[in-house]
Structure formats: C-alpha cells, structure tokens
Amino acid sequence: MSRILIIDDEQENLDSLKRALQDENPEWEILTANNETEGKKLLESQLTIKDPVDVVLTDLVMEDEKSGMNVLQFAKQLDPFVMTILFTAKEKSLDRFAAFDFGAFDVVEKNIRGTTASREINIKTRAALKFRESMKNINFMRRYFDPKVFNVIERDPSILSVSERLVTIAFWDIRGFSQLCESLKAYPTLISAFLKDYFETGSKIIFKHHGIVDNFIGDGIMALFGVFNHKDDQGKEDAIHCVQAALDFKKEFDQVLEKWKKEWMLYIAQEIDIGLGCGIHTGEAIVGNVGTDFRDQFTALGPSVNFASRIADRSGKGQIVVSQPTKARIESDFSLIRIEVISDIKNIPGRFELFKIT
C-alpha cells in the first residue's frame, strides 16, 4: 500500500486535495498534517513503526515562507527514498532551483483550489511512486554488485541480458547451523543478528574479489565470479579470485563466530559446534536477468550451478572443496589435495574428482 502525507495549514485545501486523491486512488493510505511541526512528527513516527511515508505533498508557505523547504530537507534526511512534491499559490515565494537542489521530485503552482491543481498533483504523485520503487530496486541491486560493477551496469544495462557465460560458482553453508537454531529457538534475535553479520561479511569479501552475490538461501550464500569478464584466459583469473574470496571468508567467519559464541554461551548450555563449508566449480552457465512481470533476479542457471551446490554439500566445517575444472585453473597458485571421487550427483552422470584447498 502506498502511503501519502499531505501537509497544508489551510484545512479546506487539505481536505479538498485528500478527497481528490482518495477518489482516484482508493488503495492509497493518505495521512494529513496541518503544519510543518505536525508533518515532521508524522514522518518520524511512521519511520519508527516501519511504515514509512512514500510521498510527501507539502504546501510551501505555512508558518513561514520556508516551511515547505524545511519539510523537504527533513524528509530526505530521514529517508533518502522519500519523494517530495511542493505546491504553492504564492509563486513568488517558490525557488524551483533551490527545491530541486534539496531533492524535490517536483513542484506545482496552485493558483486556486480547483480541480486542475489536484489533477496535476495526482499525476505527479503517481509518477513519484513509480520513481521511488525504481530507486529502491536500484538500491536493492547495489547489495548484490560491487559498486564499481554497478556503475558499469548503469552505463550499459544490456550486459544483464541472458547469455551463456563461463563463470566460477561458489556456495557457502554453515555446518551444524540447524542444531544451533534449535538450541537458540527461544532467542530468535540472536540468530537473525548473527546471520546479518555473516551475510554482510560474506558480501564485502565477495565484492572485494570482483564477485557478485547471486542469492542468500537460508544460511547459505551463492556467488558468481567472472560474470562480466571479457579476458581470454579461460576463466583462470576469476577462479583464483573466487578461491581467494573463500579463504578470506573462512578467516573472517572464524572471527565472527568467536564474537557470537561469547554471546550465545550466555543463553545456552549446549556445545556450539558450527563451521563454514564451501564448494566451488567453474563451468558454463546461463547467466542474466531472469524473471517475470512480478519479479526479476540476476542469477545463474544450469548443471554447473547444481554441481557447485552438490560440491558444497560435500564440504565439512572449514573446508573449501573445488572441482577438477576449478583445480586446473588455480593449482599454480594454491595448494590442493585430492579428497574423493563422487558418482552420485543427481541428473549429472559420471565420476568426479574433488579437491580441498590446504
């Protein structure tokens, strides 16, 4: 549900605009305030209860000629994604350039309280809601991509198109995590806070080594390396980046775990025995922005992804296990030992050697 806040010190104007917007958009939740102070309090309270205002419609001149601008600046400081539209019947008081500099989405001249101004505000509010959603989606995508990579995507969105690419795929899972969750089931916030710490640590390391986060799955992380690589080295550099990321993540995870163990031991008597396992495979995959009208996701699909996941299933606490194709690309840079040959991969026939980074 979209949430709109109208701020106007003239009650008749406020009621008229609210009716006009509600008639055209019955699905909107429309809040009202009669002055700058009330408006700021509503913005704060809605953010506190995690129901933030999407669009602020504020009169420019209320207590003084800067009231609307004050609301605009305050709203943007609270929530960078909030859209603000200024309106006024006092055109001489309106500095459009200053309004846009402070982050206004648009400004509307309202000479009289007629339907024309209401219609224009309605159109601009709808546009502001769409823009807010797109900005939130962009910010969401920034969580998945290194900022440097994201800048490349913004310049050339076509690189997100679906295509077959040679990538190195990594899966991480926490061994023993289900048992830990059972032990801490009376303290769910201790689990959620740990996962947040864990996911943020992993994401930063993946970005550092030129990878992207494909997905968070329960206590697992899936990452891709080489998605945007145009080097003709058969994916060697990307595989090296991936393994180095896995080694760094292993080290950082141990530090995160030690910190949280001290917290968990205050609440449970059971032994805490968890560790990070990792599986890595290099191969061809279908990569790109895959989705429907309702949801898009940049991801990788195909047997190589499934194989990497199965390798991760074979890894123990603190182990980094890689496939033969990955081993062939990294063996001059890392020490490995052969640990087993597997032949029970569902829908992938054959015998496969697995190696552990030492």
Strands 211-217 and 220-225: antiparallel
* Torsion of Cα atoms, 71 then 72 then 74 then 79, to 10°: 130
Domain span holding position 340: 156-357
> With bands split at pLDDT 50, 70 and 90, how would you rate the model's confidence at 139?
low
Asked if 278 and 263 count as a contact pair (C-beta separation under 8 A), the reply is no
Classify residue 148: in a domain, yes or no.
Answer: no
67-95 mean pLDDT: 82
Q: Which residue has the tokens 């552990």?
A: 356
Q: Which residue has the tokens 């809601």?
A: 129
Q: What contacts 295, CB < 8 A, 6 or more positions away? A: none
Last residue of a domain, one of 104, 120, 142: 142
Same domain, 91 and 29: yes
CATH classification at residue 288: 3.30.70.1230
Q: What is the pLDDT of residues 204-248, one digit of tens each?
A: 999 999 998 888 888 899 999 998 876 788 999 999 999 999 999
DSSP symbol at 157? G
Cβ atoms within 10 Å of 339's Cβ, excluding its own:
15
Asked if 65 and 71 count as a contact pair (C-beta separation under 8 A), the reply is no
Same domain, 135 and 203: no
Q: What is the pLDDT of residues 152-209, one digit of tens each?
A: 666 777 777 888 999 999 999 999 998 898 899 888 889 988 998 999 899 999 999 9
Cβ atoms within 10 Å of 29's Cβ, excluding its own:
15
CATH classification at residue 56: 3.40.50.2300
Q: What is the pLDDT of residues 257-295, one digit of tens each?
A: 999 999 999 999 999 999 999 999 999 999 987 765 444
Classify residue 150: in a domain, yes or no.
Answer: no
pLDDT at 16 over 70: yes
